[in-house]
């Protein structure tokens, strides 16, 4: 696969470098791993529509959903090498390229709702985090929402003890690893495109994800129970290859910036509803039982996961965690 990325990158380099921008249209490849009918899929389509409109066809955006081009880890390498120009990986996926700070978003119960999230992403901390990407050859353009995660397995997950010994698929985040370890479970990093099959064949017992991802990947068809925990958040950082971005004619970059701002506002206004709709579809399918926690059970889950904050403080940075909590003005225990 790496050879394929390199080959694609060298072709991309030929077409992207300098005066090649004179050619029309400029092709912007946007690769992602989820289905089109998800919050990220819809925001990407909106960006394409607006980008092509505002640049009057000077830019053609090609969106490749569903890991059609690259899986999680490969897509970040492909972006750095210039084989694709734009991605929107989740906050949990930047650790492997050496930016672990975005994993702060993975801390259990750190965000009570999307309104609180905005205080961080639209504020100085959000901007500071995006700046960290410059050193990795990418420019952070926006934060896109998915929503809150739920836990699924073939076993009813009600109390922390129910997780003990079960294998859970996780994204490549050490905070998520610590989270499942705090429950006595066994975390296993796996690309998103492989989760359905891993659940179906029993390679892993369970997973955590948003309603929209669970539904569009049909995970509910191979998991008997989904517990409505809302214990963590999945959101995305839209990144663009820095050389590509900086090399664009200034007017085109401005038009793309405008398209990105509007696509972000659109996507983030739709995400909650898309997750609600997916939940309704899962319920309608009758394939998975939706388990609700009592306030006492919810509190027990929060308590069990609180040690994660200490476990990962040295990785994510205690000052960053403190700054995050200061901006949200909330405690993860309520």
Are the C-beta atoms of 239 and 172 separated by less than 8 Å?
Answer: no
Nearer Cβ to ligand LMR, position 209 or 223? 209
Query: Does 152 interact with ligand LMR (rule: CB under 6 A)?
Result: no
Query: Does 90 interact with ligand LMR (rule: CB under 6 A)?
Result: yes
Using only the alpha carbons of the chain, give its radius of gyration: 20
Stretch that binds ligand LMR, among 32-40, 158-166, 259-267, 270-278 (CB under 6 A): 32-40
SS3 124: helix
The CB-of-55 to ligand LMR minimum distance in angstroms stands at 26
Are the C-beta atoms of 182 and 307 separated by less than 8 Å?
Answer: yes
Q: Could you say which of 16, 33, 59, 308 contacts ligand LMR (CB under 6 A)?
A: 33
The CB-of-253 to ligand LMR minimum distance in angstroms stands at 26
Nearer Cβ to ligand LMR, position 9 or 219? 219
167-to-158, 180, 204, 302 alpha-carbon distances in Å: 16, 9, 5, 20
Nearer Cβ to ligand LMR, position 163 or 192? 192
The CB-of-67 to ligand LMR minimum distance in angstroms stands at 9
**In DSSP terms, which residues pair with 209 in a beta bridge?**
150
Query: Does 209 interact with ligand LMR (rule: CB under 6 A)?
Result: yes
Name the H helices within the chain. 2-16, 39-54, 72-81, 114-121, 124-131, 174-182, 195-201, 211-216, 242-247, 250-285, 295-305, 307-311, 313-316, 318-328
Query: Does 34 interact with ligand LMR (rule: CB under 6 A)?
Result: yes
Nearer Cβ to ligand LMR, position 55 or 288? 288
Per-residue binding letters, 228-267, with ligand LMR (x by CB under 6 A): ------x---------------------------------
Considering only residues 97-136, where is the footprint of ligand LMR by CB under 6 A?
none
Nearer Cβ to ligand LMR, position 16 or 282? 282
Q: What are phi and psi of 209, to 5 degrees?
A: -165, 175
Are the C-beta atoms of 173 and 103 separated by less than 8 Å?
Answer: yes
The CB-of-105 to ligand LMR minimum distance in angstroms stands at 11
Our CA angle for 86, 90, 93, nearest 5°, is 95
Nearer Cβ to ligand LMR, position 195 or 248? 195
Nearer Cβ to ligand LMR, position 58 or 149? 149
CA distance linking residue 159 with residue 178, whole number of Å:
18
Pairing of strands 186-189, 59-64: unpaired
- Contact residues toward ligand LMR (CB under 6 A) are 33-34, 40, 90, 146, 171, 192, 209, 213, 234
């Amino acid at each position: 696969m790496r050879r394929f990325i390199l080959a694609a990158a060298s072709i991309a380099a030929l077409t992207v470098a300098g005066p090649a921008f004179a050619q029309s249209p400029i092709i912007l490849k946007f690769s992602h791993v989820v289905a089109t009918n998800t919050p990220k899929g819809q925001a990407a389509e909106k960006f394409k529509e607006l980008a092509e409109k505002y640049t009057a066809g000077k830019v053609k955006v090609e969106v490749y959903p569903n890991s059609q081009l690259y899986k999680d880890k490969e897509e970040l390498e492909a972006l750095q090498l210039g084989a694709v120009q734009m991605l929107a990986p989740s906050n949990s996926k930047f650790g492997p390229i050496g930016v672990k700070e975005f994993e702060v978003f993975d801390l259990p119960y750190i965000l009570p709702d999307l309104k609180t999230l905005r205080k961080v992403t639209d504020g100085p901390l959000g901007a500071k985090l995006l700046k960290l990407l410059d050193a990795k050859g990418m420019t952070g353009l926006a934060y896109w929402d998915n929503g809150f995660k739920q836990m699924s397995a073939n076993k009813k997950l009600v109390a922390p003890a129910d997780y003990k010994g079960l294998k859970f698929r996780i994204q490549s985040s050490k905070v998520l690893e610590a989270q499942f370890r705090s429950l006595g479970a066994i975390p296993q990093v796996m690309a998103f495109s492989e989760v359905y099959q891993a659940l179906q064949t029993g390679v892993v017992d369970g997973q955590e994800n948003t309603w929209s991802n669970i539904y569009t990947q049909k995970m509910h068809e191979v998991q008997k129970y989904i517990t409505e925990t809302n214990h963590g958040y999945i959101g995305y950082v839209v990144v663009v290859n820095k050389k590509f971005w900086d090399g664009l004619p200034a007017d085109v970059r401005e038009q793309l910036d405008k398209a990105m701002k509007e696509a972000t506002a659109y996507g983030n206004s739709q995400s909650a509803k898309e997750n609600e709709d997916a939940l309704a579809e899962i319920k309608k399918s009758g394939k998975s039982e939706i388990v609700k926690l009592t306030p006492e059970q919810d509190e027990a889950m929060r308590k069990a996961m609180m040690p994660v904050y200490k476990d990962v403080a040295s990785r994510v940075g205690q000052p960053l965690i403190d700054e995050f909590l200061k901006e949200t003005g909330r405690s993860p225990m309520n």
